[in-house]
Amino acid sequence: MKLKQTTTPTKIELQAMATIAKTAYPFPRYRWNLRDYEKRVDGTNIFILARKGNGILGEAVVNPKHSKHAAFLEDIQVRKDAQGKGIGKALLHAAERATKKARKKYLQLDTFQRNRRAIAFYTLQGFNITGLMETDTRVSEAGLRIIMQKEL
């Protein structure tokens, strides 16, 4: 597996990311689609792709301009058939390196309260819960968002 970092992913890479999100994310209403990924191609956001051959196994999107001191992990997904093989950890560590390179002290993220697997994963990687945020009140499937942060 190789990691590719870019601010300008190709249309094919964006389509692959949207396909991964369609199958990997546990809360259907909150899955990113192709348009969501395309909106983030602004020359600022950093796209990290885990590639094997011509295929994309996973992706992460980092917003290095989230705040004065922090970058924000906008998205991280691993293809279902590639989960449990260290790809998410590799993507997260690459996101941390991109955050440091952007001279930010913290990497922040949020995940849904019901996504226990993600919370456990981020906690094992050194992230701490720093707050809660309500989601759209019309949607109850995912619950509150947990805000997490890691000092780098």
pLDDT tens for residues 44-79? 999 999 999 989 999 999 999 999 999 999 999 999
How sure is the predictor about 43, in pLDDT bands with cuts at 50, 70 and 90?
very high
Residue 150 lies in a domain: no
pLDDT of residue 29: 66
Residue 48 lies in a domain: yes
Residue 90 lies in a domain: yes
Residue 85 lies in a domain: yes
Q: How far apart are CA 55 and CA 63, in angstroms?
A: 24
Q: How far apart are CA 130 and CA 24, in angstroms?
A: 26
Q: How far apart are CA 114 and CA 48, in angstroms?
A: 26
Residue 73 lies in a domain: yes
Write down the residue that tokens 């050194």 correspond to: 126
Residue 144 lies in a domain: no
0.85 exceeded by pTM: yes
Residue range(s) defining the domain that contains residue 27: 2-107
Residue 53 lies in a domain: yes
Q: Average per-residue pLDDT in the chain? A: 91
Overall domain count for the chain: 1
- Tell me the CB-side half-sphere exposure of residue 64, using CA atoms within 13 A: 21
CATH number at residue 102: 3.40.630.30
Residue 126 lies in a domain: no
